[in-house]
Amino acid sequence: MIKVSGLTKDYGARRAIHNLSFDAQQGEIVGFLGPNGAGKTTTMRILTGYMPPTDGEAIVAGYDVVEESLEVRKRVGYLPETVPLYTDMVVFDYLKFMGDLRKIPNVDDRVDEVLDMVGLSDRANGYIGNLSKGMKQRVGLAQALLHRPEVLILDEPTIGLDPGQVVEVRQLIRDIGKERTVLLSTHLLNEAQNICDRVLIINQGKIVAEDTTENLQARLIGAERVILRVRGDGDDLAKTIKAVKGVQGVETKEDGAVEFEFASGKDVRPEVARQVINAGYDLLELHPLGMSLEEIFLELTGSDSKKK
Amino acid sequence: MRNIWTIAKREYDNYFNSPLAYVVAFVILLILGFIFAAIMLFSSQQAMFGGPAPDTEQLTWWFSFLLMIAVPILTMRLISDEARMGTLELMLTAPVRDLELVVGKWLGAFLYVFTLATATLIYPVIMDNFITPGLDWRAVFAAYIGLILFSSTLIALGVGISAMFTNQFAAFFITFGLFIFLAFFVGIPANILDKGGDVFDYLSFGTHFFNSMNRGTINLGDIVYFLSLTALGLFTGSTAIEIRRWR
């Protein structure tokens, strides 16, 4: 449903995206992960027909984004990053206007339906300008869903939502993703993990990794890192832990907690816990440290600024 | 075509949701009211000494002059503000052609000015009641056809310029400057040059409206002039949006 090959976009002398190639199938939710300025928004803008690429080709819903831009735009639902809305319009009127542009039959009924989907039925007659950020975000999402698009492109769809809404919106995206193609961008690894079938990591305009979230993490981590905390100061705590076979990279934190690693598949945690308790400490906490998106980036982009 | 209407209708409704349209209409009708009263007063005094009956030429002249100030105010934000707010991204990713967007914006503003022009017909109607044998309605009709064409041109140029800017005030000043130039300055070389001055004269609003249709004559040349400039303005707007996409 989305097929991108060799996509390149220059803004003057600056190359925003460089030779990007990927695809997304129907019924698949693909996450676009990357730091600010990585080229996520640029790519999405090309796929939605907002701007043409400098080079390369993109086919969305079976049509070329440059040659058959209008056909693409008919079939794509887009939530831009900044969620632009006509703030001086009433929610219902705004959605009806967008629905009219998309020539949706029985547009009034469809607007009611979509408002219900995003949980905004009670604000249908309110001015968009008076809505909270999270509500505006949902109006933007309603607009993207209005015409039952084959392809949904969402730029940071959960930003600005409160935790309850984040859960609802993610569920909504998952449901939509069962039948349609969804491409969404996010900064949050757990969000990608939560809803995406597949993740593309993009940095400085290039795809640096493409895999399922689980694989990506497993591949990168190799060793599992754990933090352990006891009551009071554990002066010799590090020494006790080091003594356990299989423990590596022991490091004492400023607050007295100790971090250590062990090779994946050789879980030393039970043994460490036993030793710590035998040594007379009150064990308070022992939990794995997930690798953050930032760390995965640094790892993938080969940056040497990573500690150790 | 339906997209043009959808966009035009939103713009038209939008004018009546904002104080701006009411302020513009109020000021124009107020000033025209004063001028109308002055014309009637002056003519009635002159009539005692056998002066001519009043006509609407001055009134439509002033209306068109006020439009040269009002239209830049009405058109400045049409596209520039969408670019600033980011809503242009919505329009440009909706299944709407760039030209449909520009024409829709133009039509919305045009319908507003048309509504305003209809309201000003009250003055000729009143005047007609005070004079015998009544107004030369053919001349009034010609002037109003001219006014409609003139405002269509002004609005198209205004929308075209609005598409080039992200700052609506920049759009206002450029639009207003262009109107004043085309109305009062572009014709100047025609008076100085021995040869080739006709070209400058042809470009002037004065040649086609103030000294032509506003005086009650309809000729094809003037209509072609206004329709061409309208097309030019709309095409400029569409091209400016196309350029925005590539930037």
| Interface membership of A137 toward B (CB under 8 Å) | no
The domain tally of chain B equals 1
8 Å CB contact between A50 and A72:
no
**What's the mean pLDDT when you consider all of chain B?**
91
Per-residue pLDDT of chain A (308 residues; tens, 9 = 90+): 899 999 999 988 888 999 999 999 999 999 988 877 888 999 999 999 999 999 999 999 999 999 999 999 999 999 998 899 999 999 999 999 999 999 999 999 999 999 998 889 999 999 999 998 888 999 999 999 999 999 999 998 888 788 888 888 899 899 888 989 999 998 777 788 778 888 888 888 888 888 877 676 666 655 677 888 888 766 678 888 888 888 888 888 877 788 888 876 677 888 888 888 888 888 888 887 766 555 666 666 655 443 33
- The shortest C-alpha distance from B171 to chain A (Å) reads 20
CATH of domain A222-300: 3.30.70.100
Closest-approach residue (CA) in chain A for B81: A86
Are B90 and A50 in contact (CB < 8 Å)?
Answer: no
Are B89 and A70 in contact (CB < 8 Å)?
Answer: no
Contacts of B104 in chain A (CB under 8 A): none
B180-218 pLDDT, tens digit per residue, is: 999 988 888 877 877 777 888 888 888 888 888 888 888
- The shortest C-alpha distance from A47 to chain B (Å) reads 10
What's residue B186's pLDDT?
85
What's residue A305's pLDDT?
42
Contacts of B17 in chain A (CB under 8 A): 88
Whether the bond into B133 is cis, omega within 30 of 0? yes
CA–CA distance, A261 with A241 (Å, rounded to integer): 11
CA–CA distance, B139 with B61 (Å, rounded to integer): 13
What's residue A307's pLDDT?
38
Output the CA–CA distances (angstroms, integers) from residue A236 to A240, A256, A271, in the order listed: 6, 10, 17
**Structure-derived torsion over alpha carbons of residues A184, A186, A190, A196, reported in degrees to the nearest 10:** 10
Neighbours of A209 (CB within 10 A): 19
Are A45 and B89 in contact (CB < 8 Å)?
Answer: yes
Are B86 and A84 in contact (CB < 8 Å)?
Answer: yes
Tokens of A108: 């009034």
| Tokens 């002059």 found at | B65
8 Å CB contact between A195 and A173:
yes
Question: CB burial class (10 A; 0-12, 13-18, 19+) of residue A266?
Answer: exposed
Are A101 and B94 in contact (CB < 8 Å)?
Answer: yes
Contacts of A147 in chain B (CB under 8 A): none
| Interface membership of A85 toward B (CB under 8 Å) | yes
Contacts of A49 in chain B (CB under 8 A): 92-93
- The shortest C-alpha distance from B10 to chain A (Å) reads 8
What's residue A308's pLDDT?
36
B95-122 pLDDT, tens digit per residue, is: 999 999 999 999 999 999 999 999 999 9
What is the CATH class of A2-218?
A: alpha beta
Nearest to B100 by CA among B183, B164, B7: B7
What's residue A70's pLDDT?
94
Tokens of A97: 């206007």
- The shortest C-alpha distance from B2 to chain A (Å) reads 8
Q: Residue B174 above 70 pLDDT?
A: yes
Closest-approach residue (CA) in chain B for A12: B247
CA–CA distance, B32 with B135 (Å, rounded to integer): 18
Looking at residue B213, its amino acid is M
What are the domain boundaries of chain A? 2-218, 222-300
What's residue A227's pLDDT?
84
A2-218 and A222-300: identical CATH topology: no
What's residue B78's pLDDT?
94
Residues whose CB falls within 8 Å of the CB of residue A142, separated by 6 or more in sequence, listed in order: A95, A111, A114, A115, A117, A118, A120
CA–CA distance, A5 with A84 (Å, rounded to integer): 29
Are B85 and A84 in contact (CB < 8 Å)?
Answer: yes
What's residue A304's pLDDT?
42
DSSP track, B77-89: HHHHHHHHHSHHH
8 Å CB contact between A79 and A139:
no
> How many DSSP H helices and E strands does chain B contain?
13, 0
Q: What is the DSSP letter of B183?
A: I
DSSP track, A184-213: EEES-HHHHHHH-SEEEEEETTEEEEEE-H
- The shortest C-alpha distance from B167 to chain A (Å) reads 17
Contacts of B105 in chain A (CB under 8 A): none
Name which of B85, B88, B90, B101 to mutate to probe chain A: the one with the most chain A Cβ atoms within 10 A of its Cβ. B90
| Tokens 């984004």 found at | A65
Nearest to A79 by CA among A169, A15, A163: A169
Nearest to B171 by CA among B181, B161, B159, B156: B161
Q: Residue B82 above 50 pLDDT?
A: yes
Question: C-alpha A47: how far from its chain's center?
Answer: 18
Closest-approach residue (CA) in chain B for A84: B87
Q: Residue B9 above 50 pLDDT?
A: yes
| Interface membership of A143 toward B (CB under 8 Å) | yes
What's residue A306's pLDDT?
38
Of the partner residues B6, B93, B247, the one whose CB lies closest to the CB of residue A48: B93
Neighbours of A219 (CB within 10 A): 12
Tokens of A246: 């299989």
8 Å CB contact between A208 and A17:
no
Q: Which residue range(s) make up the domain with B187?
A: 2-246
Are B97 and A50 in contact (CB < 8 Å)?
Answer: no
What's residue B225's pLDDT?
92
Contacts of A107 in chain B (CB under 8 A): none
Question: C-alpha A113: how far from its chain's center?
Answer: 26
Are B6 and A73 in contact (CB < 8 Å)?
Answer: no
Closest-approach residue (CA) in chain A for B4: A101
pTM attached to this predicted model: 0.84
Tally A–B CB contacts below 8 A: 57
Neighbours of B31 (CB within 10 A): 14
Q: Report chain A's C-alpha Rg in angstroms.
A: 24
Are B247 and A143 in contact (CB < 8 Å)?
Answer: no
CA–CA distance, A294 with A303 (Å, rounded to integer): 11
Closest-approach residue (CA) in chain B for A75: B95
- The shortest C-alpha distance from A40 to chain B (Å) reads 16
CA–CA distance, A79 with A142 (Å, rounded to integer): 9
CA–CA distance, A171 with A247 (Å, rounded to integer): 40
- The shortest C-alpha distance from A51 to chain B (Å) reads 5
Higher pLDDT, A66 or B1: A66
